[in-house]
Structure formats: C-alpha cells, structure tokens
A and B are shown apart, each in its own frame.
Chain A
C-alpha cells in the first residue's frame, strides 16, 4: 500500500469536491453556449427585419421590441395599462392558480398513491376530469365565477392541477418496497412510513410534476385572460392583435417567456435545495 497513487489518499470530502468542481466547469461551458445561442438567434432576427426580408407589419425587429419595452414601462397606451401593471395582473392570476394546484394536487396524488381505499374513492372522478382540456371550462367558469380573478385562476388551476396529481401519485407508488419493509421492521406505523419514506422518495417525481404544472399555468394564462380583462400580458397580446401591432404582441410573448424562464430557474433552485442529496 506504500506506493499507492496520489488519488487514493484523497478523503471522501476532497473526492466529492473534485467531482463537483468538474461539474461546475461543464455547467459554465453550457451556460456560455446557451447565451451565445440566444444572441445568434436575436442577431439573425434583427438582420432579417432590418434588411427588409420580412415586412415590419408582420414581424417587429428585436430592437423595436426593446424600445417598446422601455416606452411601455411608463406609457399605458395603446392597451390601457403600463407593462408593470400587466405583469402584476398576470402574475396574480397564474400564481394563484398554480399554488392552488400544488396545495390541492400534490397531497391528493400522494394520498391516492399510498392509501388504496382513498384511491378507489377518488380515482374515478379524477380520471373523468383529467382528459378535459382546461380551456373548455371557460364558459362554465364564467357562469359560476363571473370574469374576475377567481374565474381566471380556476382555469389556470385546472391546467396545473393534473400533472401535480399524476406525478405525486406515480412518485409515491414507486417507493422502494425494501425501504418500506425496513421501516416496518423498525416498528413504524403506516402513516409514519408514508411520511418518512413515501413522501421523501416521491419528491423527484413531484418536482417534475411541478415543473410541468408551472409550464401549463403560464401557457393557459393567455387563454384565461381572454375571458375578459382590463390588464394582463394575455390581454396586452390580444390588444396587439386588435391594433395590428406585432411589436406589442411580441413584447407580450417575450415577457411571458422571460418570466417563465425565471420561474423555472427559481424552481430549479428550490429543487436543488430539497433534492440536494442527489448531487
């Protein structure tokens, strides 16, 4: 053992640090590539518009959109609200729906996956509701809830709710039987096993579900704001269509995109926190 190579002498901590450093380096490389990708895309777009390949009535150049972005920060025209108000209105709708979906959907899925009786009780209704497109609830929602925040949030809720339930359900169903048996031999009650083994092992799937739910929530936003609204990003896009202002439409799309990316990043942070043991 005297002439063991240098790597053998590393402690567990140093070894982990080494692997992580390598990982970070790859991540930095990928980040740079992503940024270059976006820049190249914008550049081609800008050149295409400026050179007149595309009629500016159909497609606005990125620089025009950026200028409009600056104007819209303070100017409520032409849709009636400044950008900040639109963003806040949209956030309110999508986040209300999204968090409701998480709060209701994940526990429902977990309970369904763990307790057979509860599953038999709830599953048929869930299976019936599941394939209905969230947008088809709009007319009924207007009758029930009018056109305010609750109505719009309800539509968003539906689109985010289904993936939460399905992933929580599947995740907890996949709990390793060995771990369940181990907890049983420790004398744990069924609820303790559910809490301490089932839920933690379902979290990977749950987070995947939340990710899908977040995407769905954003995607249904425009549909929800078509219900009727006086502000909101979806509303702004709609107005852009009415005034034949592609720059306004594109600004709405871009802002929705950027906020979506931001949320995904925040979610990624939370996931890293909770599932940090995987690193």
Chain B
C-alpha cells in the first residue's frame, strides 16, 4: 500500500489511502482526494458514515491506521501547519472574551503581537463583532457565539479549515445568514475549506465541489463539481438539478 508519495504542487492538501480501523470495525477505507488552494469543499454522506472520524483524522485528533494527509507535500502536523476546526458543539472558551477567544489559537502559534492584533481586528471588522469584543460567550446569542467560532477558525489563516456541521442546530434563517457569512469570509481571506454537513441543500449552496461518502466502510463514492457563481439561487433550475443529483447519489445503495 505504501507506494511512494509524490507531491503535486497544484494541490494544497493531498489525502492518500486514508484508512481507519477501530479494532475489527473498518470505518474509513482507502480514501484519496486532493484539494486545491482556496477551494471550498463540502463532504456529505448518510448519518453514521464516519464523517466525524474522517474529520478527526484530518485534524490529527486521532491517527490513521494507514495512509496519510499531506499539506504542501508534508505530512500534516498541527504544530507546523495551520489547521482550524469549527466544531459542531459550542466551543468558544467560556472564560475568555470574544477578543481573547479570537486571539487564543494565534497566541498558541506564538505569532508576533502586531500580527495577532491586525488579524483579530480584521476578523472583528469582517464579522461586525465590535460591540461584543469584551463580552463572554455565555452573554452572546447562539448565532453570535457560532460566528465568533467561525471567525476564530478564519483568524488562523488556516492551511485547511474544517467545519463539522457547524449549523446543524440552528433554524433555517440563521443558517442562511451564516452560510452567506462563511462564503464572504472564505472569499475575502482565500482559505481552503472542508465543510461537513448532512444537509444537501447546504452543500450545494456552499461548495465548489461536493464529495459524497458511502456507507461504512466509508469511501468517496463520487465527486460533484458545482459550477454556479456565488451567491447562489436555491430556486434556480441548475441548483435544483445538482441538489437532486446529489440526493439521488446518497439514496442509492
């Protein structure tokens, strides 16, 4: 399985033969794909297909059984590369203010103070968080707290930003609003984003490319390119056609 890995400079992130077993249980089976710099990818799949395991492997919270993930041709390493993760659960640090939360990851990376300052100010400006700067997370509404977390991810200027169903607990209005917000930040900052969701409409609305996962043991069943300009119209025929196609692919086992 260990054929020599050759880095292709066209890609920012290269995933090769990623496999994960928990004892007998094969969760991920030989997943390979590439992501270009600045690409926005959505990963969809049925519930329980190992999406979270997949993400945890990408962020190195757990180690793969075989295969690897390369960033700029090097095996990914959270201490060297900038990985950022927006979790499904609220993950703002409760004892830090909004500003301190935005600074946290940058301070761990030991960036110079003026760099931290300018990045944090930029995010505060982009997300309109000025009036919440000194508030603590529990004083914020849920959507504002989630915006802080998303901002915190983008503030890292990540090589790879991973988002694990960040909007699954929100009502539809908030979701639309935050989806646009994410697209705006992504365009502004040019980050590379992998967005995991079980909501096909959301995937079609956001992604440049959709990876469809299969049931366990999980592989990539298909890639779908979405060549529609942002912001997308969820009622346009092209949009509906793609959404229907992806839905059909997920239904078919």
- Across the interface, do A186 and B93 meet the contact criterion of CB distance under 8 Å? no
Which residues of chain A come closer than 8 Å to B79, judged between CB atoms?
A: 187, 189
CA of A179 to CA of B89, assembled, Å = 10
- Across the interface, do A186 and B78 meet the contact criterion of CB distance under 8 Å? yes
Which residues of chain B come closer than 8 Å to A201, judged between CB atoms?
A: 94-95
User: How many A-B contacts are there with CB distance less than 8 Å?
Assistant: 71
Task: Identify the interface centre among A179, A189, A192: most chain B CB within 10 Å of its CB.
Answer: A179
CA of A147 to CA of B62, assembled, Å = 56
Question: Main SS of chain A's interface residues?
Answer: helix
Query: Which residues of chain A in 180-232 are interfacial with respect to chain B, using CB atoms and an 8 Å cutoff?
Result: 181-189, 192, 196-197, 200-201, 203
- Across the interface, do A181 and B87 meet the contact criterion of CB distance under 8 Å? yes
Which residues of chain A come closer than 8 Å to B138, judged between CB atoms?
A: 278
Which residues of chain A come closer than 8 Å to B81, judged between CB atoms?
A: 187
Which residues of chain A come closer than 8 Å to B108, judged between CB atoms?
A: 183, 186-188, 192, 196
Which residues of chain B come closer than 8 Å to A186, judged between CB atoms?
A: 78, 83-84, 104-105, 108-109, 156
B168 within 8 A of A: no
What is the chain B residue whose CB lies nearest that of A183?
B108
Residues of chain A touching chain B, judged by Cβ–Cβ distance below 8 Å, are 11-13, 16, 176, 178-179, 181-189, 192, 196-197, 200-201, 203, 275, 277-278
Residues of chain B touching chain A, judged by Cβ–Cβ distance below 8 Å, are 59-61, 77-81, 83-85, 87, 89-91, 93-97, 104-105, 108-109, 131-132, 135-136, 138-139, 156
10 more contacts with CB within 8 A, not counting A184-B59, A185-B83, A187-B77, are A12-B131, A181-B61, A181-B85, A182-B85, A184-B61, A185-B84, A186-B156, A187-B81, A200-B95, A277-B97
Q: List 12 A-B contacts (CB under 8 A).
A: A11-B131, A12-B135, A12-B139, A178-B87, A181-B85, A182-B93, A184-B78, A186-B105, A186-B108, A187-B79, A275-B95, A278-B138
